[in-house]
Amino acid sequence: MAVTEDILRSYLRPRRVMRRLLTTGRGESRALAYVMIACLLFFVAQLPAVSRQAFLSGGEPGFAALASGTFMGSVLMAPLVLYGVAALSHLAARALGGQGGWLDARLALFWTLLMIVPPVLLRGLTEAFLGRGPETSVLSLLTGAMFVVYWAINLREAERPRPAEDTTRPGPDAAPKEEAETAHV
């Protein structure tokens, strides 16, 4: 399923989407892709406000300098910090009885970040057009609340015990039953 469809489905049924991601899309490469895409889009969301700030300050510091600093923080440093936050959240969940793994906790956090990209982009555009004001504050508060709620839901799903795999059913690579019986004769 496309990531954009998963994001939209996550707003209504976050546990179901998270459960599917945990069972089908496991892998460090996927988790890394989620966090890097989210951080890159957070950077893009900040660019209109950075442009406005450079314009209103008379070009000192210039747009390039402000954008470079924003890029360093958003795309290069934030993923490292987020890996640490995911580890701490896993340790906290483990202390409270969680049974997930380190990758599950990372996937829960990074997926939540990717989920809240649309409201973050809206907040960035609002700040670019209206500046910092009550509208931006309300959107920031709503986005933060969405993040906390969805992260809690996703982390709970990631840390809950999952049933063991059923080894009695053959996998997709298993031979048909008749062939399997005659192969042992």
Max distance between CA atoms of the chain, in angstroms, equals 85
* Count of domains forming the chain: 1
Decide if 165 is inside a domain.
no
- The per-residue pLDDT of the chain, averaged, comes to 86
Phi and psi torsions of 137, nearest 5°: -65, -40
Residues of the chain with pLDDT under 50: 166-185
Q: Is residue 3 part of a domain?
A: no
Look at residue 6 and tell me if it is in a domain: no
Residue 179, pLDDT score: 47
The reply to whether 181 falls in a domain is no
Q: Give me the pLDDT at residue 1, please.
A: 59
Does residue 170 lie within any of the structural domains? Answer: no
pLDDT of amino acid 170: 45
Are 107 and 82 in contact, with CB atoms under 8 Å apart? no
pTM for this prediction: 0.81
- Say how many residues make up the chain: 185
Return d(Cα 28, Cα 51) in angstroms, integer.
Answer: 35
Task: Give me the domain span that covers residue 90.
Answer: 15-160
Tokens describing residue 119 = 């409201």
Asked if residue 173 belongs to a domain, the reply is: no
Q: State which H helix or E strand residue 152 sits in.
A: helix 134-159
The answer to whether position 9 is within a domain reads no
Domain membership flag for residue 182: no
The reported pLDDT for the residue numbered 164 is 59
